[in-house]
Amino acid sequence: MAKPIVAIVGRPNVGKSTIFNRIAGERISIVEDTPGVTRDRIYTSSEWMGQKFNLIDTGGIDMGNEPFVTQITEQAQIAIDEADVIVFVTSGREGVTDADEKVARILYQTDKPVILAVNKVDNPEMRAEIYDFYALGFGDPLPISGTHGIGTGDLLDLICQNFPEKITDEEDGSIKFSFIGRPNVGKSSLVNAILGENRVIVSNIEGTTRDAIDTKFVTETGDEYTMIDTAGIRKKGKVYESTEKYSVLRAMQAIDRSDVVCVVLNAEEGIREQDKHVAGYAHEAGRGIIIVVNKWDTLKKDNKTMKDFENLIRQEFQYLSYAPIVFVSAKTKQRLDRLPTMIKKVNENHSQRISSAVLNDVLMDAIAHNPTPTDNGKRLRVYYGTQVAVKPPTFVIFVNDPDLMHFSYERFLENQIRAAFDFEGTPIHLIERRRK
């Protein structure tokens, strides 16, 4: 499940986000002619020749008012901390600069593979310029052009050749989960409270190349859990660790490695925009989700408080209608004992398989009660469905013409599937395929 991580580093304006976008395969961040443009996305999943990996654009982690040199060296430090392979980007147009040398000096401190890419080598004549880059001390420079897509295939080959043999995320049968949420909602308090209530077996699990601080524990019922630490939670100190982009990055990594993600909200402060971003990532990643409303002790409550809060969540997080909600307090430990059981149940639902026979009974029943839509006199025909994947459960529905499947009818089928089986806490995906 753990995918290797590739980080792109380099001084501003060498083309990091251009390369990021090219590898990501879509234009997901804004590239402008100004250095230091804001980037929305700095973390993405990608694939090359069947090898999956995650990619970080460290250039997108802006440290506010910190001086330029601090920013680029901290970004290089992030790459060292987070990545399995580092791509050091420079520019063939400008040649080797002082700032490149500063980045290089930080990167000398790691044993991790560093690939030196000389970007903006847009034509073969420019290849003569790359020899100066040997002086940076990272072996053969690789000429590429991010905007023209020249050499990016070679770069990807080289990246994949340098992945560590084995990135262990032990498949030990334990349930992997994490707490995510904006700063101050109470993630570390929840982590500590949960660990305080259960028997910790191993903390600081070795084996990952990154400095993950996972903790394995066992509950009274004998179930084993691995808590994936979003770090930043229990390890704080460096300048970049307080930046929002970095906390999102850690959250994304934790989401990636979790089966179940607990999205933590703060009852005291209510729902904020940033809560939705974080939750949105977990949803997009197809993980099991539980909404944990923490600091429940801080509210003056009457018999409507919980229901009102629940309605608010349902309204603000409509795409998470499948996620159960639990109101807890890390401080008083109220209802915290329920959490492991909920995580276990959501994990089961997330990996649940439905037999085709039973699934088709449900689908055919649904169609009999609510006839398929028509478009220009042409009626959607649903032939059969089958589950093709778990985590999240994914169903292929064979139809005469996928274009005839309206969003609302798909939603109806999903609801019928949810009514027939327990998929609480997990997204389910429906994919229509044409069958003649």
Give the end-to-end CA distance of the chain in Å, rounded to a whole number.
36
Give the nearer residue to ligand GDP in terms of CB position, either 118 or 260.
118
Give the nearer residue to ligand GDP in terms of CB position, either 26 or 33.
33
Residues contacting residue 97 through CB under 8 Å, at least 6 positions apart: 11
Q: Which two tokens stand for residue 176?
A: 């992997």
Which residues in the 105-134 window bind ligand GDP by CB under 6 A? 119-120, 122
CB-CB contact of 9 with 79 (8 Å) = yes
CB-CB contact of 157 with 142 (8 Å) = no
Number of residues that bind ligand GDP (CB under 6 A): 36
CA 152 to CA 144: how far, in whole Å? 6
Give the nearer residue to ligand GDP in terms of CB position, either 189 or 387.
189
**CA 24, chain centre distance (Å):** 14
Interface pattern 213-252 for ligand GDP (x via CB under 6 A): --------------------x-------------------
Burial 250-262 (b: 16+ CB within 10 A, else e): bbbbbbbbbbbbb
CB of 187 to ligand GDP, least distance (A): 3
Strand order in the sheet with 175-180: 199-203, 215-218, 224-227, 175-180, 260-266, 288-294, 325-327
Among 7, 55, 59, 75, binds ligand GDP (CB under 6 A): 59
Give the nearer residue to ligand GDP in terms of CB position, either 330 or 346.
330
Using the rule CB under 6 A, give the single segment among 275-283, 292-300, 345-353, 370-378 that binds ligand GDP: 292-300
207 touches ligand GDP by CB under 6 A: no
CB of 37 to ligand GDP, least distance (A): 6
Which residues in the 132-161 window bind ligand GDP by CB under 6 A? 145-148
Residues contacting residue 398 through CB under 8 Å, at least 6 positions apart: 382, 383, 384, 385, 386, 432, 433, 434, 435
Report which of 256, 285, 287 is spatially closest to residue 425, judged by C-alpha positions.
287
Interface pattern 161-190 for ligand GDP (x via CB under 6 A): --------------------x-xxxxxxx-
Q: State the CB neighbour count (10 A cutoff) for residue 64.
A: 9
| Annotated binding-site ranges for GTP | 10-17, 57-61, 119-122, 181-188, 229-233, 294-297
Which residues contribute to the site for ligand GDP (CB under 6 A)?
10, 12-18, 31, 33, 35, 37, 59, 119-120, 122, 145-148, 181, 183-189, 233, 294-295, 297-298, 329-331
